[in-house]
Amino acid sequence: MASLKALKVRINSVKSTQKITKAMKMVAAAKLRRAQEAAVQGRPYAERLEAVMASLASKVSVSESSPKLLAGTGKDQVHLLVVATSERGLAGAFNTNIVRAARKKAEELERQGKTVRFYLAGKKGRVLRRFYPNGIAADHELGQHKVLGFDQAREVADDLIRRFEAGEFDVAHLFFAKFQSALVQEPVGIQIIPVAVPQGVETANDGGAAVTYEPDEESILADLLPRNVAIQLFRAFLENGASEQGSRMNAMDNATRNAGDMINRLSIQYNRTRQAAITTELVEIISGAEAL
């Protein structure tokens, strides 16, 4: 049986771990609120852009001369998987789930004989190096930013578009965790290049009045396409931000509770051991006195 001193040390160590997990949980809860607010505030822009894209796309026909971002390269061979993960760990299965979703897609594509490359946005996606040592196209460093803003999304989008135009890949998918609630975050993969134009979105045009376009529909669309890639990435970052904090909050809540259970168990063991020692001592004294 462990000595009293060893038990005491153990209990204190678990207690300090519990303090840390509790603090992390509270920090995550505060950050989650902010991340959720940011996600809500980003919605109007995305909705407007989507409506405008839909109304423009219905007027412009896709042909050989259409921008490549819309029509694609005409091939479907090289797929680029953009994996957006967090910069920090200790967030439960958050990063693991995203990476797993990306690997599943990669395996599926490879079975179809396609070439798969990875583009990592976020430090925790680097585990993919182990599985695909030669398949990493780029590792985009985002660690220096405390909060991922639109500028970072734009940076990544510009980089992606540059690579696309250089012919490095034909199709790009984006993987991130969609925030449903503080308890549920669902890893999802969407196609970002070529741009999938939203269909059937209600456009806010006045019944029949002709819209004036400056310059013309196609130029506006060409201007909007790269913007759309950036906004998709930005949305993913926002969703990821909220999901990460939600997931961490949960993980730390569980850890705090586990630590509490452990402290209880150890305390009982400590008290029993202490009681046993006292009883033994008493028996010794009494039997000593009786012997006299």
Partner 1 sequence: MLHFELVTPERLVRSEDVYMVTVPGSEGDFAVLEGHGPLMSTIRDGEVLVQKSANTAPEAIAIRGGFAEVNAKGLTVLAEHAG
Which uninterrupted H or E stretch holds 196? none
Min. distance of Cβ 231 from partner 1 in angstroms?
A: 6
47 or 261, CB closer to partner 1? 47
Closest approach, Cβ 49 to partner 1, in A, equals: 6
CB of 41 to partner 1, least distance (A): 4
Q: Exposure of 244 by Cβ count < 10 A (0-12 exposed, 13-18 middle, 19+ buried)?
A: buried
Taking the C-alpha atoms of residue 213 and residue 220, their distance in angstroms, rounded to an integer, is 8
**Least distance to partner 1, CB of residue 217, Å:** 8
To partner 1, the closest distance from the beta carbon of 256 in angstroms equals 33
Question: CA dihedral defined by 43, 140, 88, 188, rounded to 10 degrees?
Answer: 50
89 burial type by CB count under 10 A (0-12 exposed, 13-18 middle, 19+ buried): middle
CA 232 to the chain's CA centroid: 14
Residue with tokens 């989650």: 32
Half-sphere exposure of 4 (CA within 13 A, CB side): 8
Select 183 or 204, whichever has its Cβ closest to partner 1: 204
Nearer to partner 1, 3 or 205 (CB): 205
Q: How far is the CB of 227 from partner 1 (least distance, A)?
A: 8
The alpha carbon torsion through 190, 170, 228, 134 (nearest 10 deg) reads 70
Closer to partner 1 at the Cβ: 47 or 281?
47
For partner 1, the closer CB: 116 or 236? 236
The SS3 assignment for 285 reads helix
Q: Which is nearer to partner 1, 50 or 110 (CB)?
A: 50
For partner 1, the binding residues (CB under 8 A) are 38, 41-42, 44-46, 48-49, 52, 56, 149-150, 153-154, 204-206, 209-215, 219-220, 223-224, 227, 230-231, 234
